[in-house]
């Protein structure tokens, strides 16, 4: 049958397979970092996910951190409650309620809740 491997699984073009592997590794790494966060697991509520944008509400318990990661798409973070400590190559920023931060694609960053209260923020990922 055309387009399938002898085992019955679909063939991926070389580019698609490599990109899928990178995305899968980044997602897995992000989930492992959240699951192993010292302050508890970060909760994620997906609100919108289409071909143009992904919008999630993230809830960080005190002491939790995303772990350093790199987004493949640019993202916008909006702090609703608590304080976000953001670590990037440019330095350390502490952002309070109402703060908005833009991160271009491929910027390594770590989002942390170093405060004593819950951190809630919107993250808007702008897909290319």
Query: Is there a domain that residue 74 lies in?
Result: yes
Question: Is pLDDT above 60 for 111?
Answer: yes
Please name the residue that has the structure tokens 């809630």. Answer: 120
Lowest average pLDDT, out of 11-20, 71-80, 95-104, 110-119, goes to 11-20
**Mean pLDDT rounded to a whole number for the chain:** 81
Query: Is there a domain that residue 113 lies in?
Result: yes
pLDDT for 38 = 58
- Residue 26 DSSP code: H
Q: How many domains does the chain have?
A: 1
Question: Is pLDDT above 90 for 14?
Answer: no
Query: Is there a domain that residue 61 lies in?
Result: yes
Q: Domain with 64 in it: what CATH number? A: 2.60.120.10
pTM: 0.70
Continuous segment of H or E residues that includes residue 19: helix 14-35
Query: Is there a domain that residue 81 lies in?
Result: yes
Share of the chain above pLDDT 70, in %: 70
Question: Is pLDDT above 60 for 33?
Answer: no
Contact between 58 and 73 under an 8 Å Cβ cutoff? The reply is: no
Tokens of 30: 């992000």
Question: Is pLDDT above 80 for 87?
Answer: yes
Query: Is there a domain that residue 19 lies in?
Result: yes
Cα–Cα dist 120/8, whole Å: 44
pLDDT for 2 = 42
Query: Is there a domain that residue 44 lies in?
Result: yes
Question: Is pLDDT above 70 for 86?
Answer: yes
List the domain range (segments joined by +) for residue 25: 14-126
Please name the residue that has the structure tokens 């073009």. Answer: 13
Query: Is there a domain that residue 6 lies in?
Result: no
Query: Is there a domain that residue 69 lies in?
Result: yes
């Amino acid at each position: 049958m055309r387009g399938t491997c002898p085992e019955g699984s679909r063939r991926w073009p070389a580019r698609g397979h490599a990109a899928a592997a990178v995305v899968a590794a980044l997602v897995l790494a992000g989930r492992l970092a959240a699951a192993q966060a010292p302050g508890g697991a970060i909760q994620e509520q997906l609100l919108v996910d289409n071909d143009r944008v992904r919008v999630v509400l993230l809830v960080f318990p005190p002491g939790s951190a995303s772990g350093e990661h790199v987004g493949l798409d640019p993202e916008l973070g909006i702090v609703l409650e608590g304080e976000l400590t953001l670590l990037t190559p440019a330095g350390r920023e502490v952002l309070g309620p109402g703060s908005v931060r833009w991160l271009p694609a491929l910027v390594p960053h770590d989002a942390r809740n170093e405060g004593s209260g819950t951190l809630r923020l919107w993250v808007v990922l702008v897909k290319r």
